[in-house]
Chain A
Amino acid sequence: MRWLIRRVTRKGKGNVAYEEDIHYGDVLSVGRGSDQAIFIPDLRVALEHARITAVGVGRYKIESLILAGIRVNGDITYATTAGPGAAVEIGTTRIQMLEPPADFDAGVEVSSIDKAEQKAVAEAAAKPTMLAQTWLARRGPAWLAFSLIAILFFAVPLGAHFSSSWRGTLPGLPIPSQDAWQSGKLQDAHHFFGSDCTQCHEKPFRWVRDEACAECHAATPAHADPVKFNLPELGNARCAHCHRDHNGADGLIVRDQILCSECHQGLKERTGGSSLLGNVSDFGLDHPQFKVDLPAWTADGKYAPVRTLLGTPGLQERSGLKFPHAAHVDPKGVKSPNGNKVLECDSCHRADAGGAGMQPVEFDTMCQECHALTFDVTEPERQVPHAKVPEIIFTLDEFYARRALEGGVRDVTSPAIVQQRRRPGQALTRQEQFEALAWAREKSRQVAETLFTGSACTVCHAVSPGREAGDPWRVAPVRVAGQWYGKASFTHASHTTMVCADCHDASTSKASADLLIPGIANCQQCHGGEHAKDKVPTTCIGCHGYHESDQLILAELQQRAKAAAQPPGVAP
């Protein structure tokens, strides 16, 4: 087998000299040994470093004879088969496989690697020794992260602000929507329009306007009349002064007492006496005694309760009823036609449907069993109706007219015609009828007088003679159950864990004039102010509302205030 060994030597700049040798044999040995076909005098080369075998035309088997291996086409290997063009690098020598030239079976070209190339190869082969030489970078990722955040969390939601179609599409995509801009959860009631921020945030970089709230909350009452109390700030207050959304499902109604207390200081002085409200800053520490709506009536019988400070000396309830609680709630019971009966509070005081207050006391079901309205011993089952004076008179008139006309009345003081028993079919003469009915009228009047002034009505009621004809008796109006705390919203429903006696001292009350409505000290046993640690923290809106005016609508007030602030002649 004929090998061509072409040696390339570089002499100076660009001068290249070729020297060709012929080698006979299958194997081309490479090494530092002097017996090697390709002799490389380099300490980095083993004596017998490698061998190259021609295995076919243009196919070369390259084997390393040492453990270090050899570098073929840049990779360390021990044995490989390669075609023309493959380069073996040993130390500073490169052996390149050739396409066998004419008249040769195989060929290699031996050249030395120049220093610049050696350095470049060494550098290329060297591994990075600093992070800056690796794929890691700071500038690129910084730009990328900046852009990603800016696009996903700013540009995209901003697009949704201006485009309703984006608003519709974005929530279905796995990228941030306008929700990403929400600083907190919306109030539950606002969820149904919450996907459209512009419902409230009408213009960018502008506060939410009250008009946006009034779109829905048009009928919300105002707090108080700014003109009457000379408090213009009542009309200027923005809705958002108190109501800030995006504070969670329950966050829109603020309960902080400072909201009220910053204004409810010195109100009497500031309003020039228009307001009668005392200073208040904390329910547990600084709250005036309660005022109650004490029952009272005008001269013409119209109910007109009087706001009265609890604890006023000589304070008496005027319910219009005579009722000693102590006698009725005696634990030993009271005598009734059906035996001894123990009465409880709820025998008479039943909560109304909403649970806030009590239903009115009912005579028929609660009192009449004992306090029967009988009027004639001969017919003890007959009773007059309750509470309807004309009907009582009619009932008595009719009852005694029947008795007189039927006859057989056992009353020695009555006329003979009334005492006479009638035979069936016996008719009375006009004169006899007249006489009998005259007795009946007189009897009815007597019995009515007894009922109204003696045996029945006056047991519980104050009765006075009527002032005009056809109105013989006047019974004082009664009010037992009702709203006592007219300016607060107390509810029994949230106090069902208590017993009645915890607040209402009925067991020792001997007269209905005793006011059994408790004052603030009673509430303060359990309720403290906002910062109470050992009591139920209770802020102003626990009992009071803000939007409580019964005449003024807030939205109108705000419009009025804005119109006043607008210079005249300028269209809003």
Chain B
Amino acid sequence: MHDSFLTHARKRWLWASLVLLSGALLAYAWHDPIGPANGGTWLGYTLGTIGALLIVWLMLFGVRKRTYANRVGSLRGWLSAHVYLGTALILVALLHSGFQFGWNLHTLALVLMLLVIFSGFFGVFAYLRYPALMTRNRDSASRQAMLEEIADIDQNALALADGIDRRIHAIVLRSIENTRLGGGVWAQLTAHDSSDLALAQARQMLEKREVEGNDAAKLSTREMPTMFAMVDFLAGNADDKQSEALRKLIDLLSRKKSLAGRVARDIQLQSLMEIWLYFHVPLSFALLAALSAHIIVVFFYW
């Protein structure tokens, strides 16, 4: 089986986390402090120290990730430890707090920590699921290759359309103009295709021309994506030669449409794999500030 970061080194870090967790749980169950359990007992200080060191170490993953020359363990090993120990941190921190919560800096640190960890859980999900989906979607082509093929198809389609009819040429030209992949954050995440917008504009234009009695209004269907428009033309006034060329054109454009869809999906998967980091990283720095303040404050007012 493929050795993912979850199964790295025969789940060494899973076991390490489980040992840490059971140790913490046993100590907590056995511990009978004076007054309620909280961070101020010896076990509280111990778990707090473990938790703080873990947080600092988990954040060092960001440094380790960038130092390719580092030889201290493989990056996958680090990631495996990052994930498992980060998950264990939830319980370590909760036991450290003795389940005392309030509207204060201390609980803020806990909440930030939980937000960081849960955003990380999405990252784990993304890393486990999306690479396979991306590979399947790309179908052993790279995104650049797909984009180049789209450009080639565009050129061929224009040449072909020019040989058929000026209106077909115009339609193909519009289709090229409308094919713009990517976009803002939301567009990338939702694989949103902005050609809808262009289509709406085209439809508006068409209606206007109908009123003015322009030639273009002869195109019968109002819902006129490129393909339908051409089929419409085919059914109307095309001779055999034109029909043949048009069929080729339709094949080309179908191929292009499928490619464009896959590129959009590729962009979407790529952005889903990355989006959580835009929460995970800033939140972890907020946590670092809250954690530092928490530690200083509890000893400031000892």
Residues of chain A at the chain B interface (Cβ within 8 Å): 43-44, 46-48, 66-69, 76, 78, 125-132, 134-138, 141-150, 153-154, 157-158, 161, 176, 179-185, 197, 201, 204-208, 241-242, 244, 247-248, 251, 254, 256, 258-259
Contacts and interface: CB of A to CB of B under 8 A. Distances in A.
A43 B162 contact: yes
B39 interface: yes
Contacts of B292: 150, 154
B224 to A, nearest CB: 9
Contacts of B301: 181, 197, 201, 204
Nearest to B184: A134
Given A43-B158, A126-B180, A180 B105 contact: yes
Contact of A153 (B185, B278, B290): B290
B127 to A, nearest CB: 16
B21 interface: no
Interface string B78-90: 0000000000000
A476 B248 CA distance: 130
Contacts of B208: 78
B182 interface: yes
A135 B177 contact: no
26 contacts: A46-B170, A47-B166, A66-B167, A66-B170, A68-B170, A68-B171, A69-B202, A78-B205, A127-B184, A127-B187, A131-B271, A138-B281, A141-B282, A142-B281, A143-B285, A146-B288, A148-B286, A149-B112, A154-B296, A157-B105, A161-B300, A181-B297, A183-B40, A242-B34, A247-B36, A248-B36
Contacts of A47: 166, 169
Interface string B182-213: 11110110000010001001100110100000
Interface in B269-297: 270-271, 274-275, 277-278, 281-286, 288-290, 292-293, 296-297
A146 B274 contact: no
Contacts of A251: 35-36
A150 B293 CA distance: 7
Given A183-B100, A184-B102, 20 more contacts: A66-B167, A127-B183, A132-B274, A141-B282, A142-B284, A142-B286, A145-B282, A149-B290, A153-B293, A154-B105, A161-B300, A181-B300, A197-B301, A208-B302, A244-B34, A248-B36, A251-B36, A256-B35, A258-B32, A258-B34
Binding site secondary structure of chain A: loop
Nearest to B289: A149
A254 B34 contact: yes
A204 B302 CA distance: 8
B158 to A, nearest CB: 5
B298 interface: yes
Nearest to A201: B301
B171 A67 contact: yes
A128 B105 CA distance: 39
Given A127-B182, A134-B185, A182 B267 contact: no
A142 B282 contact: yes
Contacts of B125: none
B188 A134 contact: yes
Nearest to B283: A145
A69 B300 contact: no
Given A153-B293, A259-B34, A144 B282 contact: yes
B102 A244 contact: no
Given A181-B104, A206-B302, A251-B36, A145 B277 contact: no
A239 to B, nearest CB: 13
A69 B177 contact: yes
Contact of A147 (B33, B158, B180, B289): B289
Nearest to A32: B162
A43 B173 CA distance: 10
A216 to B, nearest CB: 19
B293 A67 contact: no
A142 B282 CA distance: 4
B56 interface: no
A247 B38 contact: yes
Nearest to B32: A258
Interface string B155-168: 10011001000110
A181 B162 CA distance: 74
- Which of B105, B185, B271 has the largest number of chain A CB atoms within 10 A? B105
B interface, size bucket: 35 or more
A259 B293 CA distance: 32
Given A43-B155, A138-B282, A254 B35 contact: yes
B216 interface: yes
B4 to A, nearest CB: 24
Contacts of B298: 183
A371 to B, nearest CB: 56
A244 B185 contact: no
Nearest to B282: A141
A145 B285 contact: yes
Given A127-B194, A138-B277, A146 B35 contact: no
A183 B106 contact: yes
Contacts of A125: 180
Interface string B43-84: 000000000000000000000000000000000000000000
Contacts of A247: 35-36, 38, 100
B293 A131 contact: no
B188 A128 contact: yes
Given A46-B166, A244-B40, A184 B289 contact: no
A146 B184 contact: no
B108 interface: yes
Interface in B254-280: 267, 270-271, 274-275, 277-278
B159 A142 contact: no
A46 B161 CA distance: 10
A67 B174 contact: yes
Contacts of B181: 127, 129
B191 to A, nearest CB: 11
Contacts of B176: 44, 68
Given A201-B301, A206-B302, A254-B34, A183 B289 contact: no
Contacts of B184: 127-128, 134
A518 to B, nearest CB: 31
B36 A141 contact: no
B222 to A, nearest CB: 13
B297 A67 contact: no
B30 interface: no
Given A149-B289, A154-B289, A127 B180 contact: yes
B112 to A, nearest CB: 8
Contacts of A206: 302
B283 to A, nearest CB: 7
A66 B174 contact: yes
A41 to B, nearest CB: 12
Contacts of A180: 103-105, 108
A122 to B, nearest CB: 10
Contacts of B206: 67
B183 A76 contact: no
A66 B173 contact: yes
A254 B103 CA distance: 23
Contact of B289 (A67, A141, A146): A146
Nearest to A143: B285
Interface string B9-50: 000000000000000000000001111101110000000000
A142 B59 CA distance: 12
Contacts of A154: 105, 289, 292-293, 296-297
A134 B275 CA distance: 11
B278 A138 contact: yes
A550 to B, nearest CB: 26
